[in-house]
């Protein structure tokens, strides 16, 4: 995807470490970080310099391969990386893909690269299938950042938007700011500007108002984990958008690769919800008139905060799940159908499934 007109990935391997765009600096500036050992990989995930469920999986996969290259104890490296964030399932799928290739460092690196490439292919396929939801001028509401900063090269929820824009359909995006870390206002808006997609940032509390007034044609979000019944965990605030969309007959779709679907859990009630530091709620960060990055407190001294990072949208509120094998119902049967299509596609002479479930 585009950074200042140039194609660029957000995470990439080199012999001196794993390079990444530090998302904490965006949109003010583009900073490239380098993680040279497992601890630096883990810390980059924990402080959200690298974020987005599928991208965390890619970064952790490279981090585990880096541990082998550096001669680190692999069990300890796996434990450290797997403990960084509890909600995103892709963290474990990336680690396990590389652990299956242990202990040969070269084979483990090849496995990490293959996992990365497979994720890119899945994201582009999500874009292709999701494109069927768009007509000329479709007005789509997003929440958080589910673009190429979160999912290498294409994104999930933004992949159909990019496909629609490149097809000349001129989509318009309402970018929900996404308090408390403002991933929508800071990251999604930055991506869309770089790609030349028409958009406007809105306060989180304005979403239901716009849906009620008929100004939103489609709500499209990503997911950090999807249960076997179709319940989906995503950034806090997603559930309220789903409720508003359901109340006013607006389609609400979740875009997620199969690697985000956790068939080992029955419902969303089993998904662990990360609690993040209260300072994310008590303060805000931005640039002052001189361009300096500053953090300021917005609450009275001594005030406490509660900061759940995710919520769960029940499957009954989800119109469908856009996956790399097509759009399927948000149900146990729909999830099973998606995995059946994926299995069929990998058999000799197999073909991918249809677009709609």
pLDDT digits (tens, 9 = 90+) for 242-265: 999 999 999 999 999 999 999 999
In the residue annotation, 224 being an active-site residue is answered as yes
The CATH class for the domain spanning 7-123 reads: mainly alpha
CATH superfamily of 128-346: Translation initiation factor eif-2b; domain 2 (3.40.50.10470)
Residues 116, 153, 217, 224: which is the catalytic one? 224
Domain boundaries, the chain: 7-123, 128-346
pLDDT tens sequence for the chain (357 residues) = 778 888 889 999 998 999 999 999 999 999 999 999 999 999 999 999 999 999 999 999 999 999 999 999 999 999 999 999 999 899 999 999 999 999 999 999 999 999 999 999 999 999 999 999 999 999 999 999 999 999 999 999 999 999 999 999 999 999 999 999 999 999 999 999 999 999 999 999 999 999 999 999 999 999 999 999 999 999 999 999 999 999 999 999 999 999 999 999 999 999 999 999 999 999 998 888 888 889 999 999 999 999 999 999 999 999 999 999 999 999 999 999 999 999 998 887 665 444 444
Q: Check: pTM over 0.85? Answer yes or no.
A: yes
Torsion of CA 139, 143, 144, 149, to 10 degrees: -30
- Residue 196 class from Cβ within 10 Å (0-12 exposed, 13-18 middle, 19+ buried)? exposed
How crowded is the C-beta side of 159, counted as CA atoms within 13 Å?
A: 31
How many whole angstroms from its chain centre is CA 242? 18
Cis before 103? omega within 30: yes
Intrachain domains 7-123 and 128-346 with the same fold = no
What distance lies between CA 202 and its chain's CA centroid?
20
Secondary-structure breakdown of the chain: helix, strand, coil percentages, each rounded to the nearest 5:
40, 20, 40
């Amino acid at each position: 995807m585009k950074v200042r007109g140039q194609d660029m990935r957000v995470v990439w391997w080199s012999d001196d470490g794993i390079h990444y765009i530090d998302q904490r600096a965006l949109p003010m500036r583009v900073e490239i970080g380098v993680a040279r050992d497992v601890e630096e990989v883990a810390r980059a995930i924990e402080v959200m310099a690298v974020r987005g469920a599928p991208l965390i999986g890619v970064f952790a996969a490279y981090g585990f391969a880096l541990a082998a290259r550096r001669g680190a104890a692999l069990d300890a490296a796996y434990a450290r990386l797997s403990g960084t964030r509890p909600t995103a399932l892709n963290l474990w799928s990336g680690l396990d893909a590389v652990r299956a290739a242990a202990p040969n460092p070269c084979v483990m690196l090849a496995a990490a690269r293959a996992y990365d490439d497979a994720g890119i292919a899945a994201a582009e396929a999500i874009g292709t299938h999701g494109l069927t939801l768009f007509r000329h001028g479709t007005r789509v509401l997003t929440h958080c950042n589910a673009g190429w900063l979160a999912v290498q090269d294409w994104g999930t929820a933004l992949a159909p938007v990019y496909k629609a824009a490149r097809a000349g359909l001129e989509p318009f995006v309402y970018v929900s700011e996404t308090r408390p870390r403002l991933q929508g206002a800071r990251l999604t808006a930055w991506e869309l500007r770089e790609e030349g997609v028409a958009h406007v940032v809105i306060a989180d509390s304005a979403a239901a108002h716009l849906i009620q007034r008929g100004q939103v044609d489609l709500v499209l979000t990503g997911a950090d984990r999807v249960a076997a019944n179709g319940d989906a965990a995503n950034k806090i605030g997603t559930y309220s958008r789903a409720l508003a969309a359901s109340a006013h007959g607006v389609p609400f779709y979740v875009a997620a690769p199969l690697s985000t679907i956790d068939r080992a859990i029955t419902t969303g009630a089993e998904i662990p919800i990360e609690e993040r530091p209260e300072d994310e709620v008590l303060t805000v960060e931005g640039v002052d008139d001189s361009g300096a990055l500053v953090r300021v407190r917005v609450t009275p001294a001594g005030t406490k905060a509660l900061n759940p990072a995710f919520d769960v949208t029940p499957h009954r509120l989800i119109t469908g799940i856009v996956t790399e094998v097509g759009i399927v119902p948000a149900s146990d049967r729909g999830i099973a159908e998606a995995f059946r299509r994926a299995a069929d596609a990998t058999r000799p002479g197999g073909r991918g499934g249809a677009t709609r479930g």
